[in-house]
Structure 1
Amino acid sequence: MYLTQGLQRAIQQTPDRIVTICGERRRTFAEFGERVARLAGALQHLGMHAGDRVSMLAVNSDRYIEYIYGTWWAGGVLNPVNIRWATAEIVYSLDDCDTRLLLVDDHFLPLVEGIRATARHAPVCIYVGDGQVPQGMLDYESLLAAAEPVADAGRGGEDLACIMYTGGTTGFPKGVMQTHLNLWSACLQRLAEVHQTRDQRDLHVMPLFHIAGLARIVCSFMIGSTQVIVPTFDAGEVLRLLEEEQVSDAILVPTMILGLLAHPDFSRRNLQHLQRMTYGASPSVGAMIEQVVAKLPHLALSHSYGLTEACPIVSTNPPHNHSPQARKSGLVASVGRGGLGVLVKIVDEQGEEVPRGTVGEIIVRGPNIMQGYWNKPEETAKALRDGWLYTGDGGYMDPQGYLFIVDRLKDMIVSGGENVYSAEVENVLARHPAVALCAVIGVPHPQWGEAVHAVVVCKPGVEASEEAIRTHCREYIASYKCPKSVEFRDALPLTGAGKVLKRDLRDSYRANLAKD
């Protein structure tokens, strides 16, 4: 199980098939394979040995995918850089796993000087843009032209494939160590759950530094499909590509989907070729699903749940659980059942399994589970216990084994001794006709300990009052779960993968409180 196998198979069987579409550039599998082999040779010439880390700081592009497969072909380990990070965070990730090679595109050239000046070992920087090569950097295309293609290093199985630093929603970054077997297994599980073929066209708009984007790339190469690459999410551009490139498959987070549905070009685009869409990163999507079904009734929807430590797939709720009956019964709110080769349990604080329907912590085991956190044995020991990954997510399981997410355990609100799960409140808020996006956090309260606080982004041109929001919530949930305060904003703070940064919301609330 080595991750370059899908590329080798496609070169052998469909060498003339287009593999990447990026702007005006189109490359076949044969062309792509040649470039990957040359990049591998260039990396080795620059001193990269088996197991060494290679980083890239860039938006999505065909060259990013070449970096992924070129590093693996050369026997190296990916260390993709979060494009939302400040220089200090980038340097931390490079120093932490001793990364000496860094590919940078035009968007992030202003950060290069600071990275070089503060990193423990100033990395060799390779320019992957289309302009003039900056002073002190090597030119990507020149390196490929001068390099001799090399044979695939053939690393696989338990060999390390990627160190993916988590951060944004859970605190200081930790380097998640993922093996070839981990990523291969997770993608195989995905392919077993959702039908995919080499004739499809995949849209890659999820950031490739994130596990959802990376895993989607691996799936695409496993089946040998064509990949349409979007640098960063822009609703109008994504709609154009969906139509003009006849995209059939896409993975998006709810904020992206809502952006497409609200864009003025949506009704003008022919999206009949779009057959399958996977969504994730948010448990509160009921209202969004109804909008998608109404506007794209032909679309097969599936919901995936996972995390970086699971590379990322834990479970998938397939298209048939998005039927009218499933939406009426509430099964659509599930994130599905544990996938192929994956076991899931719900446990209490002592690690004992709880009865069905009881909320506890979700724990997972399977061949997709990470090796651990780079250079963090104590953190690894907390997360991996007796072969199980403790996810930190709260949820429950129904009698048929369907998993329902209620909250990050650390995000659970305890108000007057009662547990309030933000996802439940967010689902209700999202059903209000004025609400485009929302998030719920717990804030200090002198009487109840914590109070429910809602942060709401209204749809363009629509307004709502705080009292109207609270009245709406009281129709559907108990009063102690309803927001005691409502804050209206123009936007929510998001990670690069589209998750709401609730930590930032809490910090902002405390800062505003201090000013009063």
Structure 2
Amino acid sequence: MTSQPWLKLYPDSIPTHLEYEPKPVHAYLTEAAKNYPEKIAVHFMGKEFTFKEMYDSSLKMAKYLQDIGIQKGDRVAIMLPNMPASVIAYYGILYAGAVVVQTNPLYTERELEYQMKDSGAKAIISMDILFPRISKVFNNTDLEHIIISAIKDFLPFPKNLIYPYIQKKQYGLTVKVEHAGSNHLLTEILKTASPDPDIPPLDFEEDIAILQYTGGTTGFPKGVMLTHRNLISNASMCDAWLYKNKKGEESIMGILPFFHVYGMTTVMILSVMQGYKMILLPKFDVDTAIKTIHKQKPTIFPGAPTIYIGILNHPDLKKYDLTSVQSCISGSAPLPVEVQEEFEKVTGGKLVEGYGLTESSPVTHSNFIWDAKRIKGSIGVPWPDTESKIISMDNGEELPPGEVGEIIVKGPQVMKGYWHQPEETAAILKDGWLYTGDLGYMDEEGYFYVVDRKKDMIIAGGFNIYPREIEEVMYEHPAVQEVVAVGVPDAYRGETVKLFVVLKQNQKVTEEELDEFARKHMAAYKVPRIYEFREELPKTAVGKILRRKLVEEEREKQQQKHSS
């Protein structure tokens, strides 16, 4: 059963085992600056920065952090969108021997305060428009310093002069921060700090590089402790999977935010490790994204299904050339089959579904991109050095091919544990195996399939219903752009299926027509009983649809109904 049948499927170009050099994440920036000093490392809205410039700036950041008291093992938060400052901050923190705490710029004061308290961060690197929010929670946390950057600082002339007016119009505020006391300006740091920090030695296996907070699907978010080995092993596996890419020659589209582990590993770390150019966008705007691809010609484009869906539904798609894109691994949510097929038609490149978790740095499985069978609807096979199996939810025994159970994984990319949460760690990490909480099965050949989250399964009239299965069917309807199926309370069946639907532009469809379509393509017990049309669905910053938020909305509606 644990013979790893998928290894027979590997094309000759992918090794089943990799050697990982025991050096920290930041050592790769040192190497890139040495090997490609004048090569463009970052393109940002028309301005470019070489590997040497990013390296020097990161060293200045590290030295400044040490000068203001940051020591080895201290936590330093980054609350930034994708911009040159986020790369400088990330590597600067690591050069200083500190631990990165990635923080979502969309966090409310309450969420930010919780994360700063939980991590014990001593400093935060953020941007001007977020300064008021940080200031409000500053005194309730261990924070001692705020380092502020601004988008305009990294824009070419005349965009740098125009941008503050755009920002004021967009956010309704102008923030001026003085470089004094506990407030620091990145522009001043890069002008005045010396690039000679005392870089402490690090334990590749044990030292934490980053605390990456999970979305908090169960209670409060937990800090996932990812070591240098975790991150380097996963980026190395990614490089092995993308074996047709040439070192020092590719460019990666950086839309996935770096405060999400998927963007951090497959864009930022991989690019630095391989000498690739990162084409960064501070947020996903479909117009800007499509024009940037047309102009900058990225060859690699990791993303999430909603990003690809947004691009495919752009009204002027035919005006733009997206054929530079050769390889894309989609993560963070299930990839509908017709989105995969359509995107490959438009670009001529390959788009495959991958799978992973924050707790695994994040990737564990993916379909093959080249030279081997890809199975649509499958998450593919485990990456090199990664084991996976399906176990029974009743007794934990390994299940034979075709039977649905919990997916568990093991490999060098699996986290050290949760920050200060030994009980939570023990519940999910057992004998080196990470219990994912996802339900799936493996076929005879070794391809894996996710049927759903253990927590998302709908039980209606005694039947187990997997939302993903319903969503796959409904995505095939020509009028549908996005769908989410959730379970809602039902007096007779216990639960019943409700479908939230976003239609494509200029498309119309009735509930009756959707119902008829659903009945043609799935068993009656799976057919949604309730439909709700929406202009948009709630999403995370990565574009993952927040099923949980829709479930909570439904629960609140039910409570109001009962209380009235």
Which of the five TM-score ranges fits, normalised by the shorter chain? over 0.9
Amino acid at match of 2:70: M
Q: Is the 8 A contact 1:42 1:144 kept in 2?
A: no
1:510 positional shift: 2.5
What is the alpha-carbon distance in structure 2 between the residues aligned to residue 302 and residue 431 of structure 1?
18
**What secondary structure sits across from 1:319 in the alignment?**
coil
Quick check: 1:208 aligned with 2:229? no
Q: Which of 231, 238, 261 is matched with 2:289 structurally?
A: 238
The aligned counterpart of 1:406 is 451
**What secondary structure sits across from 1:102 in the alignment?**
strand
What is the alpha-carbon distance in structure 2 between the residues aligned to residue 306 and residue 385 of structure 1?
18
Amino acid at match of 1:429: M
**What secondary structure sits across from 1:437 in the alignment?**
strand
**Greater displacement, 196-205 / 168-177:** 168-177
**What secondary structure sits across from 1:35 in the alignment?**
helix
Amino acid at match of 2:311: L
**What secondary structure sits across from 1:453 in the alignment?**
strand
Describe the superposition over 1:148-185 as per-residue Cα deviations: whole angstroms up to 9, x where unpaired: 21254342332100001111544420000000000111
**What secondary structure sits across from 2:455 in the alignment?**
helix
Amino acid at match of 1:243: H
Amino acid at match of 2:186: Y
Amino acid at match of 2:242: V
**Equivalent residues in 2 for 1:50-69 (5 A)?**
50-69=72-91
Q: Which of 128, 134, 137 is matched with 1:112 structurally?
A: 134
What is the alpha-carbon distance in structure 2 between the residues aligned to residue 322 and residue 107 of structure 1?
48
What is the alpha-carbon distance in structure 1 between the residues aligned to residue 124 and residue 206 of structure 2?
25
Q: Which of 138, 145, 164 is matched with 1:124 structurally?
A: 145
1:145 positional shift: 2.1
The aligned counterpart of 1:455 is 500
Q: Which of 294, 302, 308 is matched with 2:358 structurally?
A: 308
What is the alpha-carbon distance in structure 1 between the residues aligned to residue 219 and residue 505 of structure 2?
32
The aligned counterpart of 1:75 is 97
The aligned counterpart of 1:339 is 383
**What secondary structure sits across from 2:451 in the alignment?**
strand
Q: Which of 303, 306, 309 is matched with 1:258 structurally?
A: 309
Q: Which of 137, 148, 157 is matched with 2:194 structurally?
A: 148
What is the alpha-carbon distance in structure 2 between the residues aligned to residue 490 and residue 53 of structure 1?
40
What is the alpha-carbon distance in structure 2 between the residues aligned to residue 382 and residue 501 of structure 1?
24
Gaps of 5+ in 1: none
The aligned counterpart of 1:96 is 118
What is the alpha-carbon distance in structure 2 between the residues aligned to residue 104 and residue 377 of structure 1?
30
What is the TM-score of this pair, normalised by structure 2?
0.87
What is the alpha-carbon distance in structure 2 between the residues aligned to residue 396 and residue 240 of structure 1?
40
Q: Is the 8 A contact 1:183 1:368 kept in 2?
A: yes
**What secondary structure sits across from 2:188 in the alignment?**
helix
**What secondary structure sits across from 2:111 in the alignment?**
helix
1:411 positional shift: 0.2
What is the alpha-carbon distance in structure 2 between the residues aligned to residue 356 and residue 332 of structure 1?
18
What is the alpha-carbon distance in structure 1 between the residues aligned to residue 279 and residue 340 of structure 2?
24
What is the alpha-carbon distance in structure 2 between the residues aligned to residue 360 and residue 351 of structure 1?
9
Amino acid at match of 2:300: D
**What secondary structure sits across from 2:94 in the alignment?**
helix
Quick check: 1:38 aligned with 2:60? yes
What is the alpha-carbon distance in structure 1 between the residues aligned to residue 333 and residue 102 of structure 2?
23
**Greater displacement, 104-113 / 447-456:** 104-113
Amino acid at match of 2:338: A
The aligned counterpart of 2:524 is 479
Amino acid at match of 2:51: F
What is the alpha-carbon distance in structure 2 between the residues aligned to residue 116 and residue 241 of structure 1?
37
Quick check: 1:431 aligned with 2:476? yes
Q: Is the 8 A contact 2:120 2:143 kept in 1?
A: no
**Equivalent residues in 2 for 1:358-377 (5 A)?**
358-377=403-422
The aligned counterpart of 1:299 is 349
**What secondary structure sits across from 1:177 in the alignment?**
strand
Amino acid at match of 1:63: A
What is the alpha-carbon distance in structure 2 between the residues aligned to residue 21 and residue 168 of structure 1?
33
1:275 positional shift: 1.6
Change (3 A) 1:127 1:133: farther
Q: Is the 8 A contact 2:294 2:321 kept in 1?
A: yes
What is the alpha-carbon distance in structure 1 between the residues aligned to residue 500 and residue 452 of structure 2?
16
The aligned counterpart of 2:221 is 173
Q: Is the 8 A contact 2:334 2:353 kept in 1?
A: no
1:294 positional shift: 3.1
1:423 positional shift: 0.5
**What secondary structure sits across from 2:223 in the alignment?**
strand
Change (3 A) 1:100 1:83: same
1:122 positional shift: 3.8
Q: Is the 8 A contact 1:457 1:490 kept in 2?
A: yes
Q: Is the 8 A contact 2:328 2:350 kept in 1?
A: yes
Gaps of 5+ in 2: 1-21, 154-163, 165-174
1:47 positional shift: 0.7
Count of residue pairs brought into register by the alignment: 508
Quick check: 1:422 aligned with 2:473? no
1:110 positional shift: 3.0
**Greater displacement, 193-202 / 381-390:** 193-202
1:277 positional shift: 1.7
Change (3 A) 1:71 1:191: same
What is the alpha-carbon distance in structure 2 between the residues aligned to residue 293 and residue 50 of structure 1?
46
Give the share of equivalent positions with the same residue, in percent: 34
1:337 positional shift: 0.7
1:290 positional shift: 2.5
**What secondary structure sits across from 2:212 in the alignment?**
strand
What is the alpha-carbon distance in structure 2 between the residues aligned to residue 72 and residue 293 of structure 1?
38
What is the alpha-carbon distance in structure 1 between the residues aligned to residue 475 and residue 105 of structure 2?
29
1:77 positional shift: 0.6
Change (3 A) 1:369 1:402: same
Q: Is the 8 A contact 1:169 1:502 kept in 2?
A: no
What is the alpha-carbon distance in structure 2 between the residues aligned to residue 335 and residue 42 of structure 1?
44
Describe the superposition over 1:471-511 as per-residue Cα deviations: whole angstroms up to 9, x where unpaired: 11111111101111111111111111211111210121223
What is the alpha-carbon distance in structure 2 between the residues aligned to residue 111 and residue 506 of structure 1?
29
Describe the superposition over 1:296-346 as per-residue Cα deviations: whole angstroms up to 9, x where unpaired: 3x11222211010000011111224898xx5xxxx2111111111110010
What is the alpha-carbon distance in structure 2 between the residues aligned to residue 321 and residue 307 of structure 1?
26
Quick check: 1:160 aligned with 2:204? no
The aligned counterpart of 1:226 is 277
Amino acid at match of 1:190: C
